[in-house]
Structure 1
């Protein structure tokens, strides 16, 4: 990549999807109900966990992991009111329903995002894993299904009451809308845009240093690129400039778009950018929000990805930040 600005080079883990989810599929009740007997159902618990084959995560499989779906008819002759239609893939409809692992389920420790060990419930040869820590391990179809299911789950959990009158809401359009039982107001799933920007110095095309920061609540040695939500009346580029200045106290220029990834925690889409800044400009981390901001050499980032830099923990594989940093590390100045 010498002599050219770096690009992502790989699709972010949660941007992968194969299912057809066009609106006409979910607004045809007769079609959906007639295909229900042959549909597959994804179970998602209150923590956003879903079952996958235990032998694929303990020990971790080198191959992409599929979801453990259920036959739709095991839930009844018709889609339950709590079911959300996720899309169609290879002539099969996929749905998500809320469900919890058995109360007496044992747990197993597995490695999650950022190298953190997590306790996962296990039952009947399955482990219940969540999207943030394990989305990158799933196959393309499974990643897309669980990302959509988690986005809808979070939206429904936060939209149980009407924003206009406070009345209770009920599901419509097989999980893709709600309607207030009191005033009739309809609501549809929301997505909040957020920018995430890899800032490098102004040497050649891709710089020699990258700006990394850490939040006070993060584990020690954990760093990432800077990010923030787009405010009302603000352009994406304006948000990049503001967020970097607010969080690190440095001005940026040469802003360019890289790619995007849904981040349903609870309902964001991350819009990735690259920008340049003066490596000699003083950094002023935002008090209470950024514990430390620093410039890091490419060799240090490469060593961290190779597991040879224990003082630098980088974002987990499910994050677009991981893809951005890996692409920058592989590039030449």
Structure 2
């Protein structure tokens, strides 16, 4: 059994989500009026940071006191929880063509894709920014009811959308996806399976296989099905490793290892450009092959690194 050596990115949230207080209107209003409460700005699914160009990114959290000009109550917002004694709210500025002029007093800040910098942020900051991004992304896409088509209104401190027509409650959506490192021992050497997908932004990047869980399917069945569909391999001994929130846009990644006795690969050309077996030594020196491993904040990278460290 290969266990995670360190926590995955976006799993270090410091927040008490206070779900039992979300429907307490007086509590929420008091927190939103508290000058010391914190705001996590989101603009078009990007997070507010400073120091990005210098390679020293840090999250920029505003206080209610310093952000009065933004008109928090007029914009989409949601209570994320308490960080110690301070409330933390996500604040969506996406309606603005360019919100930066209104933030001129906060220094050299920019809205940046969190995935570009998450590996350089403290775990607590990365987790809070991911939480805000995921919730605001869902809010922006749940404006109308999927049952009757009427407009929805926020409730439960912005964590639920309720249809104004039929009353259906809509909760934040999280799509479960399995991600797995398949291994095969042939000729006395254990190898791991990595593939290059058509969806990858980097031409030279190879990563583990992954796919969404289908209705009525266990996680282990999803692992076996996805591997067989993508590379034609039957796996056994599916073992859980860890999980990771992945709000890009709205998934929870469930990491596994699996084994196969058949090294013959038949990649699905619609899904993959290439799939190969790599030894541990090859993965440790991946750039020497002219290739790149997945990003450091991904559970795919963690699966690979933990497998490398588990070598006898």
Question: Where does residue 88 of structure 1 map in the other structure?
Answer: 82
Question: Where does residue 59 of structure 2 map in the other structure?
Answer: 67
Q: Say whether 1:242 aligns with 2:205.
A: no
TM-score (norm. length: structure 2): 0.89
- How many residue pairs are counted as aligned between the two chains? 302
Q: Deviations over 1:41-91 (max 9, x none)?
A: 011001x2122222xx33223xxx541111213337974451111111121
Gaps of 5+ in 2: none
- Is contact 2:49-2:109 (8 Å) kept? yes
Question: Where does residue 43 of structure 1 map in the other structure?
Answer: 41
1:98-137 aligned within 5 A: 98-99=92-93, 103=98, 124-137=107-120
RMSD: 2.4
- In structure 1, distance between residues paired with 2:297 and 2:186: 29
Of residues 242, 259, 283, the one that matches 1:301 is: 283
Residues 102, 180 of structure 1: alpha-carbon distance in 2 compared, 3 angstrom cutoff: closer
Q: Say whether 1:52 aligns with 2:49.
A: yes
1:1-333 aligned within 5 A: 5-36=1-32, 37=34, 38-46=36-44, 48-54=45-51, 57-61=52-56, 65-73=57-65, 74-75=67-68, 79-80=73-74, 82-99=76-93, 103=98, 124-202=107-185, 208-218=190-200, 219-278=202-261, 280-304=262-286, 308-309=287-288, 311-333=290-312
Q: Deviations over 1:174-233 (max 9, x none)?
A: 2100111222211111211110011111479x9621001111243322110000011011
- In structure 2, distance between residues paired with 1:256 and 1:21: 30
Residues 27, 135 of structure 1: alpha-carbon distance in 2 compared, 3 angstrom cutoff: farther
Q: What displacement does 1:103 show?
A: 3.7
- In structure 2, distance between residues paired with 1:301 and 1:105: 42
Q: What displacement does 1:324 show?
A: 0.9
- Is contact 1:33-1:78 (8 Å) kept? no
Residues 310, 80 of structure 1: alpha-carbon distance in 2 compared, 3 angstrom cutoff: farther
- In structure 2, distance between residues paired with 1:132 and 1:207: 34
- In structure 2, distance between residues paired with 1:78 and 1:266: 24
Gaps of 5+ in 1: 107-122
Q: Deviations over 1:16-56 (max 9, x none)?
A: 2111113113222212222232201011001x2122222xx
Residues 80, 29 of structure 1: alpha-carbon distance in 2 compared, 3 angstrom cutoff: farther
2:290 partner SS:
coil
Q: What displacement does 1:102 show?
A: 7.6
Residues 216, 140 of structure 1: alpha-carbon distance in 2 compared, 3 angstrom cutoff: closer
Residues 136, 207 of structure 1: alpha-carbon distance in 2 compared, 3 angstrom cutoff: farther
- In structure 1, distance between residues paired with 2:204 and 2:174: 31
Q: Deviations over 1:266-314 (max 9, x none)?
A: 2110000001112x5311111311111110111111113xxx4252211
- Is contact 1:154-1:265 (8 Å) kept? no
Residues 78, 211 of structure 1: alpha-carbon distance in 2 compared, 3 angstrom cutoff: closer
Residues 201, 287 of structure 1: alpha-carbon distance in 2 compared, 3 angstrom cutoff: same
